[in-house]
C-alpha cells in the first residue's frame, strides 16, 4: 500500500503541471464560452494528444502483454515524463492568471482525481494495480477533456458568482449616479477609450475600464474593484463576438453617451456576416436613452447606411466628409506625431491640435473625444491641452526603443483596416523597414483573402518581412511572392521570440520594426 501511494507522487506532479497548461488554454478560450475551448481542442489534437505522455500509451501496451510490470515501472514512467515536461522551454505571452474561478476549478479537479484514486486505496489489491494505473494514466493523458468536464460541473456555481457580483456592480453604479460613456467598434476601442479619458481628465475625474476589460465580467470587475466615489464619469469599453453581447453590456452599465469607432471585419468568423457585425455594434446606440448622445463616424460607410432604431441625439465626426458636426483638416502625419486643424459646425475658425500619437486613424478617435468633451463643457483651450497630453497607448502603434532599433509596437491590432493603417505609419519612417507578424485570425471565410491583401500592402512598404507561423501566414507569403518580393528577404519562424535576434542582424543604420499583431498562446504553431 505504502509503495502504491509513493508511486502516485510523480503521477500527481505531472498531472498538476499538465492541468496548469490545460487551464491556460481554457482561460484564453473564455472558459469554453460558445464552446471555444472544445473547438480549440479538436483543432489542436496533436498538441493535446501527442505530448511527452505518449509514453503512457506505449507502457500500457507493454503492461497488457507483460502483467509483471507494476509499481516500479509506473514510478519510473511518470518520473521520466515529469522530468521531460519540466525541461520543455515554453514561452508564453499571457500567462495563466490564478483567479478565484481557477481556484474553484482546481478544487473540482482535485475532487475528480480523488474520487478516481480513493476506491483503489480503500480496496487495495496488488492484482488490480494494472487497472488502477491504466485508469489514472488515461485521466492524465485525456487531461484537457477532464478539465472540460470540471468546467461544465462548475457552471451553475459560476453563474451564481456572476449574478452576485453583477448585482453588486449595478447597485454601486446606480448609487454613484454618474454619466457613463460606452465605446465599441471593430477596432480602436481601447485607443479611443484611453484618448477620451486623457482629454476629459483635464476637467473631470473620469475613469476608464483598465486594459481590455470589455466583457460583462471585465465591466463588473472594473466597477466593483476600480471605480471609486471620487470618479464623476465612467468610460466603458464594450467588446463582442456575436449579436446580443453589446446589448448585454449596455444593459449592465446604462450609458448616456455612445461612440462607435469603426466597423470592419474583426470577429467575422463568430459574428457570421458584416451585417451582423454592424447590427451588433449599433446595439450600443440603440440602448441609449432619449436624451443620450451618439457620436458616429461619417467616413465609415457601415455607420452611414445603418438605420438607427432610436431617437436619441446623433452627432457626426469626419475627415473625408465635412458635412459633420466636427471634422479635421490639414492633417500632418510624421514619425514624431500628428498635427491637424479642427473645424466645428457653425464656427468658421480653425483650431490647431497637436498629439504624440501616430497615424491618421487616431485623428478619428481624438475627434470623438473632442466632440464629447465639448458636449460636456470643455473649452477649446482645455481640449487642446487634453489632446496634447494624450499618452501613447501600450501595444497600439507605440514607438519604443529596442537597442538601436525603433520598434512600432502594434501587438494588439488584429483587423484588416487597422493593419493597413499600421503599414501606412511604417511607411512614414525614414530607414530600413521590417515587419514581424503572424497575420490575422477569426476572419471566417475571408481569412485567406484579407491576409493576402495584407501581404500586398506589406510588399509596397517593407524591406524585410518576418512571418510567425508557416501555416497561418501562408496567404501573406503567397501575396509577397506574387508581387515579386525578394524571397531572400522573407523569413518564416515558429516563435516570435526568435524574431528579435534576426532583427538585430538585419538592422542597418536607422531601422524601424513594426510588430503587427501578437496572437494569444492558443494560436502558437
All structural domains of the chain with their residue ranges = 2-156, 178-388, 398-523
Q: How confident is the model at residue 211, as a pLDDT?
A: 80
Low-confidence residues in the chain, pLDDT < 70? 1, 3-4, 7, 10, 49-93, 126-128, 265-270, 413-414, 519-525
Q: What is the CA radius of gyration of the chain?
A: 27
Report the chain's terminal Cα–Cα distance, integer Å.
Answer: 43
Which contiguous run of DSSP H or E holds residue 193? helix 189-200
Please report the pLDDT score of residue 521 as a whole number.
46
Strands 405-410 and 398-402: antiparallel
Tell me what pLDDT residue 471 has. Answer: 86
Report pLDDT for 49: 66
How confident is the model at residue 460, as a pLDDT?
93
Residue 249: per-residue pLDDT:
94
Which pLDDT belongs to residue 525? 47
Core vs surface per residue 99-111: b (16+ CB within 10 A) or e? eebbeebbebbee
Cell numbers representing residue 403 in the block? 537597442
- Quick one: pLDDT at residue 3? 66
Cell of 222: 472594473
Closest to 514 (Cα-Cα) out of 357, 400, 403, 415:
400
pLDDT for the residue numbered 68 = 46
Question: What per-residue confidence (pLDDT) applies to 131?
Answer: 73
Q: Which residues does residue 113 pair with via DSSP β-bridges, in sequence order?
A: none
Beta strands in 286-419 (DSSP E): 293-297, 313-318, 326-334, 337-344, 351-355, 398-402, 405-410
* Domains 178-388 and 398-523 are alike in CATH topology: no
Assigned fold of 398-523: 3.90.190
Instruction: Answer whether 296's CB lies under 8 Å from 260's CB.
Output: yes
Fold of the domain built from segment(s) 178-388? 3.40.1190
Cα angle at 91 between 87 and 95, to 5 degrees?
110
- 397 close to 357: Cβ distance less than 8 angstroms: yes
Q: What pLDDT is attached to residue 323?
A: 93
Amino acid at each position: 500500500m505504502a509503495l502504491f501511494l509513493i508511486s502516485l507522487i510523480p503521477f500527481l506532479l505531472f498531472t498538476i503541471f499538465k492541468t496548469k497548461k490545460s487551464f491556460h488554454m481554457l482561460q484564453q478560450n473564455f472558459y469554453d464560452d460558445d464552446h471555444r475551448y472544445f473547438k480549440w481542442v479538436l483543432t489542436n489534437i496533436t498538441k493535446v494528444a501527442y505530448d511527452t505522455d505518449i509514453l503512457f500509451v506505449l507502457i500500457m501496451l507493454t503492461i497488457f502483454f507483460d502483467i509483471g510490470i507494476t509499481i516500479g515501472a509506473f514510478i519510473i514512467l511518470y518520473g521520466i515524463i515529469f522530468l521531460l515536461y519540466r525541461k520543455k522551454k515554453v514561452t508564453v505571452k499571457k500567462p495563466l492568471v490564478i483567479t478565484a474561478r481557477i481556484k474553484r476549478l482546481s478544487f473540482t479537479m482535485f475532487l475528480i482525481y480523488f474520487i478516481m484514486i480513493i476506491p483503489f486505496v480503500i480496496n487495495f489489491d496488488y492484482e488490480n494495480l494494472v487497472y488502477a494505473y491504466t485508469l489514472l494514466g488515461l485521466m492524465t493523458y485525456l487531461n484537457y477533456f477532464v478539465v472540460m468536464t470540471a468546467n461544465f460541473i462548475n457552471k451553475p456555481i459560476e453563474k451564481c458568482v456572476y449574478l452576485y457580483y453583477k448585482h453588486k456592480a449595478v447597485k454601486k453604479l446606480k448609487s454613484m449616479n454618474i454619466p457613463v460613456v460606452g465605446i465599441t467598434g471593430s477596432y480602436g476601442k481601447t485607443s479611443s477609450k484611453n484618448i477620451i479619458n486623457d482629454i476629459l481628465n483635464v476637467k473631470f475625474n473620469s475613469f476608464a475600464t483598465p486594459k481590455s476589460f470589455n466583457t460583462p465580467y471585465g465591466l463588473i470587475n472594473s466597477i466593483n474593484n476600480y471605480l471609486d466615489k471620487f470618479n464623476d464619469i465612467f468610460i466603458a469599453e464594450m467588446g463582442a463576438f456575436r449579436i446580443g453581447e453589446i446589448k448585454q453590456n449596455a444593459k449592465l452599465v446604462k450609458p448616456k453617451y455612445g461612440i462607435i469607432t469603426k466597423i470592419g471585419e474583426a470577429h467575422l468568423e463568430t459574428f457570421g456576416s458584416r451585417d451582423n457585425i454592424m447590427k451588433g455594434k449599433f446595439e450600443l446606440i440603440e440602448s441609449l436613452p432619449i436624451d443620450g448622445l451618439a457620436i458616429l463616424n461619417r467616413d465609415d460607410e457601415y455607420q452611414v447606411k445603418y438605420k438607427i432604431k432610436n431617437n436619441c441625439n446623433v452627432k457626426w465626426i469626419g475627415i473625408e466628409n465635412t458635412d459633420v458636426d466636427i471634422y479635421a483638416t490639414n492633417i500632418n502625419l510624421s514619425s514624431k506625431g500628428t498635427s491637424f486643424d479642427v473645424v466645428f459646425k457653425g464656427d468658421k475658425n480653425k483650431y490647431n491640435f497637436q498629439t504624440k500619437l501616430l497615424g491618421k486613424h487616431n485623428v478619428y478617435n481624438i475627434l470623438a473625444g473632442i466632440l464629447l468633451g465639448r458636449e460636456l463643457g470643455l473649452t477649446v483651450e482645455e481640449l487642446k491641452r487634453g489632446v496634447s497630453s494624450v499618452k501613447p497607448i501600450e501595444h497600439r502603434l507605440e514607438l519604443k526603443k529596442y537597442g538601436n532599433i525603433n520598434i512600432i509596437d502594434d501587438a494588439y491590432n488584429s483587423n484588416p483596416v487597422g493593419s493597413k493603417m499600421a503599414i501606412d505609419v511604417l511607411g512614414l519612417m525614414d530607414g530600413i523597414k521590417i515587419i514581424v507578424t503572424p497575420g490575422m485570425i477569426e476572419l471566417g471565410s475571408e481569412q485567406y483573402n484579407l491576409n493576402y491583401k495584407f501581404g500586398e500592402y506589406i510588399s509596397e512598404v517593407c524591406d524585410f518581412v518576418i512571418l510567425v507561423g508557416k501555416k497561418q501566414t501562408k496567404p501573406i507569403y503567397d501575396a509577397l511572392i506574387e508581387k515579386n518580393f525578394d524571397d531572400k528577404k522573407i523569413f518564416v519562424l515558429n516563435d516570435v521570440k526568435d524574431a528579435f535576434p534576426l532583427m538585430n542582424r538585419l538592422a542597418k543604420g536607422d531601422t524601424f520594426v513594426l510588430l503587427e499583431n501578437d496572437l494569444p498562446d492558443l494560436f502558437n504553431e
